[in-house]
Amino acid sequence: MAVSPLPRRQLLQLGAAALPLLLGGCRQDRHRLAASRRDLPALWTARLPRDWTLQTLEEPAAVSRSVLGAATARPDLAQLWDGWATALPASVLQPFGAPELLSRLAPLAGPVSRLFAPEGAPALAFPWAVDPWVLLLRDRPDLARRHEEGWGLLLDPSLRGRLVMPSSPRLTISLVEADPQRLRQLRRATLANDERDGLSLLLTGEAEAMVLPRRRAVPLLRSDPRLAVVLPVQGAPLGWNLLLRPAGSSAPSPLTWLEAALQPPLLPRLLAAGWVPPLPRPQLEAAAASLPGEQRQLLVPPDAVLQRCWSLPPLTEQERRNLQQLWDEAAPSPP
């Protein structure tokens, strides 16, 4: 028996009803990379494979929550800084894989890839960028000429009330080597503790010095001749930008995309924007060869300076209490 064809109107209605289901299926087939805003360079994320999508969240806390959520809702890759990553329980992560790419990184990236677990533990992170904290000066060539004093410049009397410090007490304490007297001086001199939004205080002239990550200083140096940056020869605390594989994801790491950040033509562009993968020095020198001399020296400092830099591994509960007590005791007296 012949079957009557469906009227054209009915066919269109059925097609329209099925379209969202088809598109939804396509979306579910795409792997997801969750990252906080401004913490992955657009010139790199634009190269993500077609079966990956970028989910941009407002802050690292939101990325952390997505990793801690139900296994079925977790992203396939997550970007976090090392302080956030080491706060996650190991049970929500899986080994990152990509041993060949990890082997191309400089030795200082090894402990970070294990999230500071003992040698022999699996690599849970891909440390794709390293970022020392630096001192940014505005209209202070006198202090810039004294760069060899390093973090001691923070205690110059002329900066009292004109200094923006990080929001992290631990980081600030590390800059004065946990010295109680110097910490009290520094806290009295500080105008604000806000590395994320305090930059406006410096650019408007309310502050003359600021401690911030190097990557945020690099673009400013090109556009504002009033600014100078000091990476102390005594070393600096390091921030590590990591990629993690949440447990439960079966998506393979996008190896070709990861590798692109470690070599030309993308690597020189990342360096020019202030993003520095932890590669051996000869590779970084070659990639930075076309940059201006001062910028090149900031992005690829001497090995002796890097060897004096330090990471901030997780604290024990007792260490955390000790630092909090030191911080509280150094608080400025109320007016």
Say if residue 200 is in the same domain as residue 267.
no
Rounded distance between C-alpha atoms, residue 253 and residue 244, angstroms: 10
Work out how many domains the chain is built from and give that number: 2
Say if residue 47 is in the same domain as residue 89.
yes
Say if residue 101 is in the same domain as residue 81.
yes
Residue 2 has pLDDT above 70, yes or no: no
**DSSP letter at 88?**
S
Instruction: Specify the DSSP element, H or E, that contains 100.
Output: helix 99-103
Percent of the chain with pLDDT over 90: 85
Six-digit token string for 256:
């070709």
Q: State residue 16's pLDDT score.
A: 43
pLDDT in tens, 132-188: 999 999 999 999 999 999 999 999 999 999 999 999 999 999 999 999 999 999 999
Say if residue 54 is in the same domain as residue 90.
yes
Say if residue 296 is in the same domain as residue 160.
no
Say if residue 219 is in the same domain as residue 325.
yes
Say if residue 195 is in the same domain as residue 319.
yes
Contact yes or no for 279/108 (Cβ under 8 A): no
> What residues contact residue 142 under an 8 Å CB cut-off, 6+ apart?
none
Say if residue 62 is in the same domain as residue 157.
no
**Verdict on whether the full-model pTM lies above 0.95:** no
Query: What's the CA dihedral at 83, 279, 107, 111 to 10 degrees?
Result: 20
pLDDT in tens, 289-328: 999 999 999 999 999 999 999 999 999 999 999 999 999 9
Residue at 170: amino acid letter: R
Q: Where are the alpha helices (DSSP H) in 261-309?
A: 266-272, 281-287, 293-299, 303-308
Output the CA angle 261-237-81, nearest 5 degrees: 50
Contact yes or no for 38/197 (Cβ under 8 A): no
Please name which of 50, 49, 43, 98 lies closest in space to residue 265, comparing C-alpha atoms: 43
Say if residue 216 is in the same domain as residue 319.
yes
Rounded distance between C-alpha atoms, residue 138 and residue 168, angstroms: 22
Question: CA quadruple 156, 160, 166, 172: dihedral positive or negative?
Answer: positive
pLDDT in tens, 259-290: 999 999 999 999 999 999 999 999 999 999 99
- Ranges of beta strands (E only) in 182-312 are 190-193, 209-213, 227-230, 238-246
Rounded distance between C-alpha atoms, residue 59 and residue 57, angstroms: 6
What range does the domain containing 99 cover? 32-130+238-308
Give the confidence band of 13 by pLDDT, cuts at 50, 70, 90: very low
Residue at 281: amino acid letter: R
Q: State residue 19's pLDDT score.
A: 43
Say if residue 126 is in the same domain as residue 270.
yes
* CATH code assigned at 184: 3.40.190.10
Q: Position of tokens 């028996």?
A: 1
pLDDT in tens, 190-212: 999 997 788 999 999 999 999 99
> What residues contact residue 101 under an 8 Å CB cut-off, 6+ apart?
126, 255, 258, 259, 262
Rounded distance between C-alpha atoms, residue 17 and residue 20, angstroms: 7
Residue 127 has pLDDT above 70, yes or no: yes
* Cross-strand bridge partners of residue 132: 238
Top pLDDT among 269 and 73 is at 269
Rounded distance between C-alpha atoms, residue 290 and residue 267, angstroms: 12
| 268 occurs within a structural domain | yes
Please name which of 100, 77, 126 lies closest in space to residue 241, comparing C-alpha atoms: 126
Beta pairing, strands 125-138 & 238-246: antiparallel
| 1 occurs within a structural domain | no
| 203 occurs within a structural domain | yes
